[in-house]
Amino acid sequence: MTPYAPRVEKTPAAVREALDEDLRAEYAAEWAAALDQAKESFDLVPAFDMLERWWPVAQVCVQSGGRQAVEQGTRDALAGVPGIPFDLDWDD
């Protein structure tokens, strides 16, 4: 058995498409800022770094109930409740 999670391509467009609607504006603003920085510095590292930070969020958003489970896990952790903040889907 292996854990199964829907895979989002690690591209700016794929990550944006996978995000929940309420996160897209924040993502777009960060992407625009990273590109502005790249224009000035001729360095794409900030854009790549930003994509690396958002890609796991996109992975969670494409899982049914994934974002809600992670948010509940965060609330539980802050409240001192031990445990895994989400259920893993397994394929056979």
Taking only the tens place, the pLDDT of each residue in 6-46 is 689 999 999 999 998 989 999 999 999 999 999 999 999 99
Look up residue 76 and give its amino acid. D
Tokens of 78: 């802050």
Determine how β-strand 89-91 pairs with β-strand 2-4.
Answer: antiparallel
Of the listed ranges 7-11, 19-23, 71-75, 81-85, the least confidently predicted one is 81-85
φ/ψ of residue 90, rounded to 5: -120, 140
Mean pLDDT calculated for residue range 51-64: 90
Alpha-carbon span 92 to 79, nearest angstrom: 35
Amino acid occupying residue 50: M
What pTM value is reported for the model? 0.71
Asked if residues 59 and 5 have their Cβ atoms less than 8 Å apart, the reply is yes
